[in-house]
Structure 1
Amino acid sequence: MSIVSENEMIRIIREKAGLSQEDFCDGICSKQALSCIENGKNGVSPITFEIFAQRANMNVKPFPCFADERDYDCYMDLHRADFLIDSWQFDSAYLELEKVENNNFSDNRFYYQKWLMLNCKILVLTEKYDYKNVSDLILEALRVTYPEYRQGTLKRKLLSSIEIELLSMLADAYIGMGENTQASELIEYLEEYLKKIKISVVALFMLSSYVGYLKEKLCLINNDYETLLDHSNRWYKNAVIHHRSIPIFRFASMNAIALYKTGSINEAITMFKEVLAVGSFINSVFVNQCLDYIKSYTDISLAEFDNIIYNQIGFTPKKFRTHYAARLKAGVYSTSDDKIIKFGGILRLLRNRRGLTASKVYTGLCSKSMYSKVENDKALPSVILAKALLERVGITENLFDFFGNDKEFKFLDLKERSASLSIFDEEKAKSIIEEMKSLDISEDKLVNQEIQLLSNIFAPDSKDKTEKFLSIIEETQKDFSFEELGRPLTNTEFAIVQHYIRGLFKTNNEDSIGQGIDICLRLIKYYESLNYDITQYRVNLPMLYMIVAPNLQKQGRAYELESICLKCKTELMQSHIYIKASIIYYWQIYKYTLQSDPALEKEIRSNCYALKLFIKNDIVFRGVRNKVTSIGIQLT
């Protein structure tokens, strides 16, 4: 079945939420414009689609259809900026935000609202800002969708994720200005609202964790250290599970203060060491906030931290000017406009930007004639094929949703569930495989490939199992060869390759391990040569680095290990702190075994503290501790 249009989905979303057109479009567009959208006469920008879906409390990502190329660029630039901010790369984020401003927000006020929100987010993360000025900027952003915003009227409103984040930052600014009653009321409202909404697990955690952090700030102000200890400990453990650095830093610091105030001085010092080590490791401005916490709430001497590496981080936020939002539009456009970029247009745009021929995109996925129809918007593919085609042109994240029949929805849900399975979940895997087969769509080569992959992952280890991964990839990559990587890989194809390499490393055979290393290094070189953006790189390259590094260490291949280590010190790895720290740890240990050095010993100790902040399992960290102890380094 072909994918369903965005217009029909917006109508379905509204009707499922039981909302009238008037309530649904409040603050977004006119009732007449919404009627034209639902009737297919108008289209909407993805950011406008997102706001519609979130207002209806639906966990649905936008449909990939854009008013023009500027619309596409603004959407992706803001997505990259958000990612860069979450990994503390503020200077790079400013470059993306500048692109959006130079494109005049694609004349879309919702892009302007998100742009304002992200600029404010950078200021708030520095923890050193003019609270009154930022609160005024936040209110301006809120009034893009609620021109007459007042805190008392919120209970009658439906909120988008952008609005929730803006309100959280407003509560943060209130705390900074000493308006704790207003902050407390807003925090309480947001906490209750977040219990009712349906968004992705990660998005909900990030929004809820910020509100949780604000509650802890109030505990700190009220000297309620017992509550702070319990609350911060629970949230810190959740943050480690989700592997998100901003909440990890926040809750670990609060936990350290609470430990100190309740008498666990040594534990507090250790926790502060971990935060300082990680913050310095990735040049996060949170180091400065952590040092302020130590000075303001404890009597701990900074001499306690002399055995690790940490530095205050210099950063000056950029000044930005506000714009007249009323001049901007709602991201609604006529479907008869010849500038519209539909699904086929996106494939063509990205294929040309990546320098790919059409055959490199469609081969193994569909026929040449089918792809020609899709790229020229003469036909729509199935949901499963649509996602695979986007992955071939470089969009490997689930940025967009496609809407098809129940079987396709069920298959994609099962595929997502299978991605979170561990090697110990054999029974769950069998159940998912049986459900996939029962959908009766396994004649689709992409579905069949997924079923074969999952079945082989949970088969007993053997040489045949490892070799079978190569036959599975040939479902969509005929005559596949690591010697000559001609076509980009879909997410499933990359997973197959990854499991094949892991199988080679499990053999403990020197030749097989050497073969696995050579394949990994070839893949790394290939991905580094692709003209893809940071969102593509953060999916595949870090995983390849992590797989190959310990095996390079085992084989004593110092030059290649050092090369991987240097790659991990670039901005690319800022969002993969645990992987980055692990790989540098392998290199440091290797160097130290060749020649001990006091400076290197300090680096290793700092890196171990950085790893500990991200390892919730004490048994796992015991392996790290035992390794460094065996070479004569003590973690104190």
Structure 2
Amino acid sequence: MSILSAGQIIKEARQRAGLTQEALSEDICSTVALSKIENGKLGVSPSTFSLLMEKTGSPREVLPTFKNIDDYNCFRLIKETYNDITHHQLDTAYSHIQEIININYADNKFYRQQTMLLYCWLQYSNCYADSQTLLSIIENALRITKPSISVFDIRDISLSYVEYKGFLLIISILIDCKEFDSSVVLLSEINTFIRNFPSQTRNQHNREIEYIHAITYGKYFYFTGDYSNASDWINKALDIYYSENIDAFLSYELFILAELISLKNSNSKEFSPKFEYFIAAATFKKCAFVNRVVDYAQRTFSNASILSRYHVFKKMFPELSFSEMILSDGLYNIYDKDVITIGRLINHLRKTQGISIDKLCNGICSKSMLSKIENNDLSPSIYVIEALLGRLGVNEKDFTFYGNDEETQYYRLKSNIFVSGHLNNIKQLKKSVSEFAAFANKINNKLVLQQAYCFEAQLCEDKNEAYTLLYDAIKLTYIDFNFENINNYILSWSEYNIINGLLKCIYPAPDIFHTHTAFHKLLSNTDKPPLNNKLFSRCHESTICLFLIFLDINKLFNETIFFIDSMNNQLQYFDPYSLNFALYYYALAKANLGQDDSLIFYSKASIGNSYICNDLEIINHFKKDIYKLTNINI
């Protein structure tokens, strides 16, 4: 088994789409270059690979093969910057953008385009930038791939995911500047594109474009006084948010706007408690737009004076200049000594993190196999690559591995589980898990069996049965597994997930000391490997939620407060459900200790996140708990 080359993948995708090489290469690279890519004579950077695959209507996730280490670092930093902006961590985002500029965008014009647009999203999110300057930078960024484009007329032009987001940012800026005529023209033209998306290519990225477009259209109608149409578009955005598991991007803006529209449609002269809950939640997330919304609310609602308690400190980021430069289109000689293949990437990450071959390959493959992979003498299965990269702190969701028919079936079956689980379709979820388990048993690969055991355990109603499955799963890669030795293990996200499941099975436990120790050891394992903020939250959100339940059951309220205070930066990257959970137990701990300072703020922020999660039951439960402890109505 081996991973297909980029050229093979692109050629097959182009032929399936019925595109000529001339049509596919337009605005991306030369036809000659595309021919060389397909024939395996040129390598292709992830940025270029994504654009070519997107144009064929295929998944645009990338192969982990890079021109050089700068190419990999640019790819990684762009992913992290987008995640930072999504979670309003603008200081970190700005630092990442500076890092990308310092390595000259890895000599790649597509990375430069993405960086320029990310910078504009950052400054726009900070509510502290000159609109004309931002519009000029966005226009220059779009002209990297569309040199003759008019930003006010995009009819009959094929746009990429990155370009769509650039135009949607232009529209948001125009709405803020009350340039309603120009903004509605662009909204209408993008709406035509969206309606014409082929049903087979309505992937996560297309749905994200639809989501941002719906929010922006709702914003346009709100500020032009058409609250009925505004409601329709915002409801469409909410449907996409809940059905597609959209990342937190614009989520707080969406729910605040939804509540404002509801208040306008009901002719309310006062803001609702729900509106304040959303403002509190956005304030905790350090959303800079809060100040503007509070100012607007104070001019609109008679009872809005109390909202003055909500304020987000805005930092002024120095303007960055993006002068014209000639950069490559992301192609390279595949025989160049600096090319980062999958094996070389694993070698680089392993050595950078100071991990020995023995520790990394433990339970995954032999030392001999790992050595051959790192030296490009062996092309391993997708299962081995995923497991190794997972232990090195690489989010496998950033990549798509194109393998043989068996490995393609593996991806399809795993995807079915995630989709049915997200839609909470229990009947379909059970069927999908059963199909995956049958597949795992058929191929008899321990790394796939490990995932199958984990999926099956999640459906178990009996804790003992679930514990047995999970314990068998972790012993497939760590045969000597013991909670006492957690700090000796290099864990992938999948292995973290299994251990979280084991902890869930054993709490509340009579042996409080050992359970407490197990939680601390798992949480302290974070630095092996060093995780970026997105992967940290993915690994540890469930661990932290379980730990907070454990602390609450055992009345360790001081430790709860200390723990949450020490985790504040990481909490900013949590999804609304996990963040609601953390703030819920933080507020309860303060209430139990009689600490009323900031209790109301954290309680309202927790409730705001609960409304975003549509978890009305926990809201009522929480309000009763706080009132019982403090006589305070939240």
Q: Within 2, Cα distance between the matches of 1:168 and 1:221?
A: 16
Q: Is the 8 A contact 2:440 2:448 kept in 1?
A: no
* 2:125 counterpart residue number: 125
Q: Within 2, Cα distance between the matches of 1:108 and 1:185?
A: 32
Q: 1:453 to 1:574 in 2, by over 3 A?
A: closer
Amino acid at match of 2:621: G
Cα-Cα RMSD: 2.6
Spell out, residue by residue over 1:561-592, the C-alpha distance to the aligned partner (whole angstroms, 9 max, x if none). 23321233125533434423422331331232
Range moving further from structure 2, 381-390 or 417-426: 417-426
Q: Within 1, Cα distance between the matches of 2:311 and 2:215?
A: 24
Matched ranges for 1:331-480 at <5 A: 331-419=330-418, 421=421, 425=426, 428-438=429-439, 441-480=442-481
Range moving further from structure 2, 351-360 or 143-152: 143-152
Q: Within 2, Cα distance between the matches of 1:442 and 1:460?
A: 27
Q: Within 1, Cα distance between the matches of 2:489 and 2:626?
A: 42
Range moving further from structure 2, 257-266 or 161-170: 257-266
* 2:254 counterpart residue number: 251
1:167 aligns with 2:170: no
1:265 aligns with 2:265: no
Amino acid at match of 1:224: D
Q: Within 1, Cα distance between the matches of 2:105 and 2:41?
A: 23
* 1:482 counterpart residue number: 483
Matched ranges for 1:53-452 at <5 A: 53-150=53-150, 154-195=154-195, 196=197, 202-236=204-238, 238-239=240-241, 242=245, 244-263=247-266, 265=268, 268-295=271-298, 298-305=300-307, 309-325=309-325, 327-419=326-418, 421=421, 425=426, 428-438=429-439, 441-452=442-453
TM-score (norm 1): 0.92
Deviation at residue 277 of structure 1 after TM alignment: 0.4
Number of residue equivalences: 628
Q: 1:61 to 1:321 in 2, by over 3 A?
A: same
Spell out, residue by residue over 1:468-525, the C-alpha distance to the aligned partner (whole angstroms, 9 max, x if none). 42222111112112222333223332222111111112xx4432x6543321211001
The percent identity for this pair of structures is 23
Q: Within 2, Cα distance between the matches of 1:285 and 1:151?
A: 27
Amino acid at match of 2:333: S
Matched ranges for 1:600-619 at <5 A: 600-619=598-617
Range moving further from structure 2, 311-320 or 148-157: 148-157
Deviation at residue 419 of structure 1 after TM alignment: 3.8
Q: Within 1, Cα distance between the matches of 2:202 and 2:385?
A: 21
Deviation at residue 95 of structure 1 after TM alignment: 0.5
Q: Within 2, Cα distance between the matches of 1:560 and 1:49?
A: 48
Q: Is the 8 A contact 2:120 2:134 kept in 1?
A: yes
SS of structure 1 residue aligned to 2:397: coil
Q: Is the 8 A contact 1:44 1:67 kept in 2?
A: yes
Amino acid at match of 2:471: L
SS of structure 1 residue aligned to 2:485: coil
Q: 1:117 to 1:107 in 2, by over 3 A?
A: same
Amino acid at match of 1:136: S
Spell out, residue by residue over 1:177-213, the C-alpha distance to the aligned partner (whole angstroms, 9 max, x if none). 4443332222122223234166685533432222112
Q: 1:121 to 1:431 in 2, by over 3 A?
A: closer
Deviation at residue 466 of structure 1 after TM alignment: 1.6
Amino acid at match of 2:52: F
Q: Within 1, Cα distance between the matches of 2:340 and 2:84?
A: 26
Q: 1:266 to 1:481 in 2, by over 3 A?
A: farther
Gaps of 5+ in 2: none
Q: Is the 8 A contact 1:174 1:180 kept in 2?
A: yes
Q: Within 2, Cα distance between the matches of 1:620 and 1:123?
A: 36
Deviation at residue 62 of structure 1 after TM alignment: 0.8
Q: Within 1, Cα distance between the matches of 2:58 and 2:544?
A: 37
Q: 1:19 to 1:452 in 2, by over 3 A?
A: same
Range moving further from structure 2, 609-618 or 131-140: 609-618
Spell out, residue by residue over 1:235-291, the C-alpha distance to the aligned partner (whole angstroms, 9 max, x if none). 346536636444322222222322332235388432331232012212220212312
Gaps of 5+ in 1: none
SS of structure 2 residue aligned to 1:279: helix
SS of structure 2 residue aligned to 1:631: helix
Amino acid at match of 2:462: D
SS of structure 2 residue aligned to 1:483: helix
Amino acid at match of 2:533: I
Q: Is the 8 A contact 2:62 2:400 kept in 1?
A: yes
Q: 1:571 to 1:370 in 2, by over 3 A?
A: closer
Q: Is the 8 A contact 2:436 2:452 kept in 1?
A: no
Q: 1:601 to 1:496 in 2, by over 3 A?
A: closer
* 2:585 counterpart residue number: 586
1:26 aligns with 2:26: yes
Q: Is the 8 A contact 1:520 1:544 kept in 2?
A: yes
Q: 1:344 to 1:438 in 2, by over 3 A?
A: closer
